[in-house]
A and B are shown apart, each in its own frame.
Chain A
Amino acid sequence: MTFLNLVIYGIANGTLYAAVALALVLIWRSTRIVNFAQGGMLMFTTFIAWDLVVKHGANYWLGLVVAMLAGFVLGGVSERVLVRPVEDGPPLNPVIVTLGLLLLLQAVAGMIWGNGLDSFAPEFSLRYYSAGDQVILFSPDYLFIVIAVFVVLLGLYVLFQRSPLGLRMRASAFNPEVARLLGVRVGRMLTLGWGLAAMVGALAGVLIAGTQPDYMNPNAFDPLLIFGFTAAIIGGLDSPVGAVAGGISVGVIQQLLDNYVSNDIDAFYVFLLLLVVLMIRPNGLFSRASVRRV
């Protein structure tokens, strides 16, 4: 196993974490809440896509689009109905509400689609590239994922840095009172933020589901939330670029330690990595302002 190959494989897997981290960052940006239900939301929308594509033979891209639209609705409705009422209460309450939503979504998915295992084939080949007789742990499917994540990243950059809508969203999150005085419909901005986040999450879910043969199970996405959350925090929670950098570094570090130390304590490596990063930069790698709220 060459070092380079491990790094490539780490980057490929890290991109999956980055995709989840992007969704978490979006929610943080819009409402200053960590959404523990993110993993559940993207699992649910992925099941919707799977139902259409695998069960009913719909076109893959149609399934993806429907999943993203469903994500937008799910995210928006969650914010409006579940999160809004607890937003101004004690700061831990949204955490508990999103936890409850995670459990609820997993249970409902189990009710609808059962607790079996199923696969959701990707549109691109999973076969690894090779150079001579050396296999490179990177496939056309991974290439598509990397491109998709960077397109999302670019889209977010344009939205937040270059569009008036993005400015309004940032203002609503950063200082709702002032934004309201300036005529921004803050509530709508927050709902929109959650909707967009869940949409990115839905994309991530479908991409992730394709990489392994057994992803379609209500609990299969659980570890991704943890690694995605870690990635988002390493990146500084506020920065989409940070989320991607965080995801890739988690992926690479995991792979190197798996290979050179032992592959049974992945979760411990993530803890160590986070500890080291936060000891050096208490607000993550890419944050600017310090944050003072749970």
Chain B
Amino acid sequence: MTRGMWHRAPMVLRHGIPAVAGLGVLLLVSQGLSEYRNTQLASIAMYVCAVAGLTILTGLSGQISLGNGAFMFVGAYTVALLLKHHDTRSNGVLVLFLVAAVLVSAIAGALVGVAAARLRGPYLAGITLALAVGLPVLPKYSHLQKTLGGHSGISVNAPAPPNNMNYFRWQAWLCVIAAVITLFLLANLSASRVGRAFRAVRDDEIAASLAGLLVARVQILAFVVSAACAGLAGGLFGILQLTVLPDLFSLTLSLSLLAAAVFGGLGTLSGAVYGSIIITFLPFWSTDLARALSLSDNIKNNLPQAVYGLGLIVGMLLFPLGIHGLLRRLGMVGRNALRTKPTGN
């Protein structure tokens, strides 16, 4: 197939074929990985769902969110509560529960989106930051402790893997499939009219509304999309954790999602993948580094965080467009990839 034919092919096909191919590669690779590496693959794929949603919201529609961890909280608790009240041994039902997590989070996203559509810049940052900190404490509220499990949380009793598959490989597959589906849908969305509307609103709200777009509605839709993705990630997070409890959904979680999106390259789906890899591995690398050196306890204990912080700073100073921007400059990925500016101003 020549390049020209490829570009004339229906969008679903253009995104679908590589998605299926990518999925195949990943599942094949997963076969060769140790249990531990499969847990990392699962974790990366889980983060990809959330970060990809965030990068659509922030990179494409131009709305900042410091609070997508709160939507992960909603998704995770949805799955945990459904599993608690409907004991199931079927993975099919589990998938339905994940869909439910997506829907519930999408509704939460719509509610927040309505508020967010009126807000700009730091005010939006403020309300989403307050959301990230304020929502996940709800299970601690004395009158909700019975329903939501209080401080100790709820066990997530996911069904056993089908066909005696290795438990960790099954987790990796579940997350990888979810991530590929998410990326596929978001790639299509981004190339569709909706995606163009997102960009139009980001680049110039007034022009967009003159062109007939309902700016507020477009912005709310972006919030719904990103919350749905975070909800899916949250459901998977719960399944990987085996337990959900309020302290898991700290501000650190929300901020690391944002760091991943920006660090990978804001507004690009592949950037979401790079960012997810970084936030999964960076803590390990820095911990290993600290252990390898012989240092006093105070320095050794704090070195991983220092490396993480320094990494964020240096990364931003050297690669303002993130890893995606860096790779593109090195000519490693498609030249016509960044036709539009990655971020609004």
Contact = CB atoms under 8 A, between A and B. Distances in A.
Interface of A: 28, 34, 82, 85-86, 89-93, 95-97, 99-108, 110-112, 114-115, 226, 229-230, 232-233, 237, 262, 264-272, 274-275, 278-279, 282-284, 290-294
A278 B303 contact: no
A92 B130 contact: no
A270 B309 contact: no
Contacts of A267: 130, 133-134, 137
A92 B141 contact: no
B80 interface: no
A149 B320 CA distance: 38
Contacts of A279: 115, 118
How big is chain B's contact interface, by range?
A: 35 or more
B313 A101 contact: yes
A291 B133 contact: no
Interface of A is mostly: helix
Interface of B is mostly: helix
B54 to A, nearest CB: 11
Contacts of A95: 64, 125, 258, 262
A126 to B, nearest CB: 28
20 contacts: A28-B122, A86-B320, A90-B342, A92-B262, A95-B125, A95-B258, A95-B262, A100-B313, A103-B308, A104-B305, A104-B309, A110-B298, A115-B298, A226-B133, A265-B138, A269-B134, A270-B130, A271-B135, A294-B64, A294-B122
A90 B142 contact: no
Contacts, number: 181
A275 B133 CA distance: 13
A282 B138 CA distance: 25
A111 B298 contact: yes
Interface string B307-345: 011111100110011000000000000000000001111
Contacts of B305: 103-104, 106-107, 110
A99 B255 contact: yes
A92 B137 CA distance: 27
B153 to A, nearest CB: 15
B302 interface: yes
B118 A92 contact: no
B137 A278 contact: no
A171 to B, nearest CB: 20
